[in-house]
Amino acid sequence: PQPPVVDPGTPSTQVKAGTAPADAIVLFDGSDLSKWRTGDGDAAWRLVDGVIESVPGGGYLTTRESFGDCQLHLEWMVPEDLEPRGGAGANSGVYLMGQYEVQILRREDRPTYPDGMAGSIYAQHPPLAAPDLPKGAWNTFDILFTAPRFDEDGSVKTPASCTVLFNGIVVQNDVDFFGRTAHMRPAAYARHPDRLPISIQHHGDTLRFRNIW
């Protein structure tokens, strides 16, 4: 079933971009893309007026630094003036460790399957609510991620898990990932290092991002 649509109120981030806590690793504060890899000659990610904008064509945006367990804050927007290309509309997503996706997708007037909508653990867990703000407004994700632990033989000792606040509302509460994110096939784990870069998905649509820490 579709989760309930919840108006999140007016987050203070609508007024201006927030700033990171003092002890955070700042991944993007509006000034440059130096903490990220955009791929060789990849013009699909650009800095426009202090925000990151994805433009059609190109690979994922990936941190230079690697992370395991983390708290990740990110703000994203579906631009008001740009029509998404994809049938489902403005697809992106946060890939923790480059493996485990928390979905970003425009919901407004383009309903999709519950475990594919914004705030879902893609193809695994629907969000508990749909608190998206409309095109042209900034949405916030606060993700508490625990990396998986593997035994020496490569088997999963404890799965990856996460809690997600979406515009301040809990949409995932300590859920386990069934494995690496997959589309139209079962998710499975493959042993990987303790720390890996975080990626933002490029699915051919134009979205904006800011204040990432």
CA distances, 200 to each of 88, 92, 111, 149, 212 (Å): 18, 7, 22, 23, 11
The residue among 126 and 157 lying less far from Mg ion, judged by its C-beta, is 126
User: Under rule CB under 5 A, which residues in 93-132 are in contact with Mg ion?
Assistant: 93, 103
Give the residue carrying structure tokens 């971009």: 17
For residue 202, how many other CB atoms are within 10 A of its CB? 23
181 binds Mg ion (CB under 5 A): no
CA distance 211 to 213: 7
| Choice between 13 and 54, CB closer to Mg ion | 54
91 is an interface residue for Mg ion by CB under 5 A = yes
Residue nearest to Mg ion (CB): 93
Least distance CB 93 / Mg ion (angstroms): 3
**Is there binding between residue 54 and Mg ion (CB under 5 A)?**
no
For Mg ion, which is the closer residue by CB, 13 or 103?
Answer: 103
Question: For residues 201 and 206, which CB has a smaller minimum distance to Mg ion in the complex?
Answer: 201
Count of beta carbons in the 10 Å neighbourhood of residue 42: 15
d(CA 198, CA 153): 25
Residues forming contacts to Mg ion in the complex (CB under 5 A) are 91, 93, 103, 201
